[in-house]
Chains A and B, each alone.
Chain A
Amino acid sequence: AQSVSQHNHHVILSEAASLELGCNYSYGGTVNLFWYVQYPGQHLQLLLKYFSGDPLVKGIKGFEAEFIKSKFSFNLRKPSVQWSDTAEYFCAVLNNAGNMLTFGGGTRLMVKP
């Protein structure tokens, strides 16, 4: 069974600080990886995804993630966070059938103004 681990449960940063959220997955096959974001009071929405090709993936709002196959990692980064980035971030991996996402436990980010 596939699983996803997010190492940082709760992160508090000041505005303009750099962000890196860790994500490791356990899955031996071809992986399709995602970062989702849930802003307060809103539904989950896609931040970025990796299917194949360039392992450095750019997403919305200045986020990026790097797929490192040898480390089974897909860490999320942003060089300079804003107050509006306060949200919960979920890493996820898609199963082979392409119909189910397995989510990590989530990282709650709070950015202080």
Chain B
Amino acid sequence: DVKVTQSSRYLVKRTGEKVFLECVQDMDHENMFWYRQDPGLGLRLIYFSYDVKMKEKGDIPEGYSVSREKKERFSLILESASTNQTSMYLCGGSHDTGELFFGEGSRLTVL
């Protein structure tokens, strides 16, 4: 069964802490994405990667960075977490056919 797996379903962090959100896929996807999902705002793209070590900013990259050292892994980093980064974070992957497969999400609360 193919999967996109996010390492943490729920995290609680304090303001100023560094946060790593990990995403691993076993579908050999070329493309991987990080979104955040907030009520009323839908999905907003943070960053995406179309190849190893390649990354592109999405709509709301401020306060975030990403790393893709291996094809199967795409990490989202919050260098200094803030309360407005409390959200649901969704990782997704796709082949060039366009269909996007999502992980289950990581709900981050920043206190």
A interface, CB within 8 angstroms of B: 8-14, 17, 19, 105, 108, 110, 112
Nearest chain A CB to B69's CB is how many angstroms away?
Answer: 20
Among the listed A105, A108, A112, which residue makes an inter-chain contact with B96, where contact means beta carbons less than 8 Å apart? Answer: A112
| Whole-angstrom CA separation of A8 from B43 in the bound complex | 10
Number of B residues contacting the other chain (C-beta, 8 Å)?
Answer: 15
Q: Which residues of A lie under 8 Å from residue B89 when comparing CB positions? A: none
What are the 6 A-B residue pairs with the smallest beta carbon separation, nearest first? A11-B98, A14-B96, A12-B31, A9-B43, A13-B98, A13-B96
| Whole-angstrom CA separation of A110 from B58 in the bound complex | 12
A9 touches B98 (CB 8 A): no
Main secondary structure of the interface of B (DSSP, over half): strand
Nearest chain B CB to A16's CB is how many angstroms away?
Answer: 10
| Whole-angstrom CA separation of A105 from B96 in the bound complex | 22
B50 touches A110 (CB 8 A): yes
B50 touches A105 (CB 8 A): no
Q: Which residues of B lie under 8 Å from residue A105 when comparing CB positions? A: 42-43
A108 touches B100 (CB 8 A): no
B50 touches A10 (CB 8 A): no
| Whole-angstrom CA separation of A11 from B33 in the bound complex | 11
| Whole-angstrom CA separation of A10 from B50 in the bound complex | 12
Nearest chain A CB to B74's CB is how many angstroms away?
Answer: 14
B43 touches A12 (CB 8 A): no
Q: Which residues of A lie under 8 Å from residue B42 when comparing CB positions? A: 105
A10 touches B48 (CB 8 A): yes
| Whole-angstrom CA separation of A112 from B33 in the bound complex | 16
A12 touches B45 (CB 8 A): no
| Whole-angstrom CA separation of A19 from B98 in the bound complex | 9
Nearest chain A CB to B33's CB is how many angstroms away?
Answer: 6
Look across to chain A and name the residue whose beta carbon is closest to the beta carbon of B41: A105
Binary flags per residue of B81-111, CB closer than 8 Å to A gives 1, else 0: 0000000000000101110100000000000
Q: Which residues of B lie under 8 Å from residue A10 when comparing CB positions? A: 33, 45, 48, 58, 100
| Whole-angstrom CA separation of A13 from B42 in the bound complex | 23
Among the listed B43, B50, B96, which residue makes an inter-chain contact with A17, where contact means beta carbons less than 8 Å apart? Answer: B96
| Whole-angstrom CA separation of A38 from B98 in the bound complex | 19
